[in-house]
Homo-oligomer: A and B are copies of this chain.
């Protein structure tokens, strides 16, 4: 069962990135997929973002959605502003490294 940690950094490419996530799980339905939002893309997982519905759909499909606390802090985003179900890690980049050390594949979108 493939496990993949996906990095989404750039809010300017957010639609393409979310489409690629969907394409991935369409093609490998049994994959365990965790998507880490950091840098400017952190704003995608804030309630009211213009991709909120797409983020919720990913979670309904079983994708684990992660927000980077460092990125939240530097943009004054608080925990209670996040879309329900989004989890938080201290440092998105460290999460990506740790998952690879556990044998997960890595995908940068």
Contacts and interface: CB of A to CB of B under 8 A. Distances in A.
B20 A93 contact: yes
Interface of A: 2, 4, 7, 9, 16, 19-21, 23-24, 26-28, 31, 38-40, 70, 74, 90-94, 96-98, 100-101, 105-109
A52 B106 CA distance: 29
Number of copies: 3
Contacts of A39: 16, 20
A108 B91 CA distance: 15
Contacts of A21: 93
Contacts of A94: 23-24, 27-28
Contacts of A101: 2, 105
